[in-house]
Amino acid sequence: MSPTNYLLLSGLLFTIGAVGVLVRRNAIVVFMCIELMLNAVNLSLVTFARINGTLDGQVMAFFVMVVAAAEVVVGLAIIMSIFRTRRSSSVDDANLLKY
């Protein structure tokens, strides 16, 4: 089995995450879909590291994980503060900048 299968799996997971971001309304679930996309990219980075025979891809995946952790913390804090003011976690309700 060639490592290409991992890339295909990664692509499919990324697609599922992207569709989830477009379809779901709950901000937290949208956020989870973004996490899924980041994970898919990590899988492809790890596969590339293996194909190239260097560790750089794994280091990049490591950095992606760090950035994702920071992003999750800030994003969830934003969702919570929006929920506190608007009593809703739906992405449709946060339309204050619209008018």
Residues 36-55 that bind other proteins (CB under 8 A): 36, 39, 42-43, 46-47, 49-55
CA 3 from chain centre, in angstroms, equals 23
Compare residues 88 and 96 and give the one whose CB is closer to other proteins. 88
| Beta carbon of residue 99, minimum distance to other proteins (angstroms, whole number) | 16
Q: x/- binding map, residues 50-89, to other proteins, per CB under 8 A?
A: xxxxxxx-xx-xxx-xxxxxxxxxx-xxxxxx-xx--xxx
**90 has which bridge partners?**
26
Distance, CA of 36 to CA of 50 (rounded, Å) = 21
CA–CA dist 80, 84 (Å, integer) = 6
